[in-house]
Amino acid sequence: MVGKMLVASTNPHLPSAAGRWMGAEHVHGRRGTLRKKPSFSPRWRAALPMIVTFCLVWLGYLSIVTIVIATDPYDIYRWGARLKLTRNDVPRDVVVRWVDVVSKQSGINTFLVGGSTTAMYSPDDISAALGGSVVAYNLSYGGPRPMDRDIVLDQLAINAQAKRIIITFDWMYILDSEKMRQGFPEYLYDEQISDDIRMVDLKSLRRTWKVLLGETSYEAQDDERYAKFTERQYRSFQMPAQMAELQGLIEEYRSVVDAPSGRTCASFNAVNEQLVPRIRKFVEKGAQVDVIMPILSYANYYFRMSDISATLLDEVLLSRRCFVKSIDTLPNVRVFAWDDDPRIAGDLGNFRDPGHVYNPGLLRRTLTSLSTGENRLTAADVDAYERRIRTEVKNYRLRNSYLERTARK
């Protein structure tokens, strides 16, 4: 048998055969022993800067989260910043982050919870219309949906000691009860502390910075800008070309505008499972509840068929009828509606778009009626109210008193 001779090197600076086979480097120790030279694989050496950067960024983020939650700029926790509200502020869309703060204000005895159809009212407007010792706040914001509206009402039911709650019964109550407004910060109002990490964004950082600098008031400061926006919207809507386009839609959809939806009262979960139980809770706490049916123009039922529902008219009117009958026996609950009057809902001169009233006198009147009792809607007359609107919408001929007046000048 012929074998290969294993030759051991006598050079102490060369690796042994076993060492070469194992792929390890060796160095000669002080006492003639061999020891391994430590090394990192090329992959680890390349990844190390990235790992260090990630750790630093993560630590920085956790530090920011800790500062924001410790400061609590939205007064969520018991240690939250005790911030004051500017008396006549109308925060509108930014109020979605303020609900907890606002609902805990002990001096406020009246809340208006609505959408863009009531976003123009200042606390002074509400107090002037209702009179007495009313101290009001407007929690209206654009584009509410059933789920976030329910969250707002729940916060008021938990925190507020209000004597009166005013709620708008918006068209959105025909939607599924799980629908939520895009961007609504529901994580601010749940019981999961881990969710509150999501509040750390640019808005909360700015608010935290102001709190740390000693600013103790929330300020909206957009009243003038909002007034200019609604005026521009009104002027751009009050144009013959806009009216001609609407007239074309009306003629196109007239034959189907009153099509049945096939829905029943039981199908409006947002009404049955959210709104009515919340109203019951307010009544149990001794509050007066007033519900406003927003004034939609008759043209709106044609205008929004394509993006909301092909059976919008039937669904809106049916949801209103079902709601009115479901709360009719509750004490201290009233419903108000004005849109069965063609002089109001049939005149586009009152509107800045088909779904939003602009006429200042009409806006004041809708608020004042909560004090005078004008235009109450009850279970006894809701069927007749529904029939009047259906008839007016089906037979609608576009009218615009503003353009009529300007044409005569």
Q: What pLDDT does residue 218 have?
A: 59
Q: Which residues contact 50 (CB under 8 A, 6 or more apart)?
A: none
Q: Is the dihedral of CA 186, 146, 256, 400 positive or negative?
A: negative
Residues 6+ apart with CB under 8 A from 91: 98, 138, 218, 220
Q: Is the pLDDT of residue 38 over 60?
A: no
d(CA 192, CA 381): 45
Give the tens place of pLDDT for each residue, 83-131.
666 655 666 667 887 888 788 877 889 999 999 999 889 888 999 899 8
Helix (H) / strand (E) element for 336: namely: strand 333-336
Instruction: Give the H/E segment covering residue 34.
Output: strand 34-36
pLDDT of residue 4: 44
Structural domain spans, the chain: 1-39, 89-192+222-409
Residue 215 pLDDT exceeds 90: no
pLDDT band at 387 (very low <50, low <70, confident <90, very high): very high
Task: Supply 47's token pair.
Answer: 């990844």
What pLDDT is stored for residue 321 in this prediction?
98
Q: Which CATH class is domain 89-192+222-409?
A: alpha beta
Q: How confident is the model at residue 166 (pLDDT cuts 50, 70, 90)?
A: very high
pLDDT band, residue 194 (cuts 50/70/90): low
Q: pLDDT tens across 41-91, in order?
A: 777 777 778 888 888 888 887 787 777 777 777 766 666 666 666 655 666
> Average pLDDT of the chain?
84
Give the best-scoring range by mean pLDDT among 58-62, 219-223, 357-361. 357-361
Q: Can you give the pLDDT at residue 165?
A: 97
- Asked if the model's pLDDT at residue 174 lies above 90, the reply is yes
Under 8 Å between Cβ of 26 and 16: yes
pTM for this predicted structure: 0.79
- Could you give the count of Cα atoms lying within 13 Å of 84 in the half-sphere of its Cβ? 8
Confidence check: pLDDT of 1 > 70: no
pLDDT of residue 91: 61
Whether residue 201 is predicted with pLDDT greater than 80 in this model: the reply is no
Decide if pLDDT at 23 tops 90: no
Q: What pLDDT band is residue 10 in, cutting at 50, 70 and 90?
A: very low
Give me the pLDDT at residue 307, please.
93
Helix (H) or strand (E) holding 333: strand 333-336
Q: Give residue 177's pLDDT.
A: 96
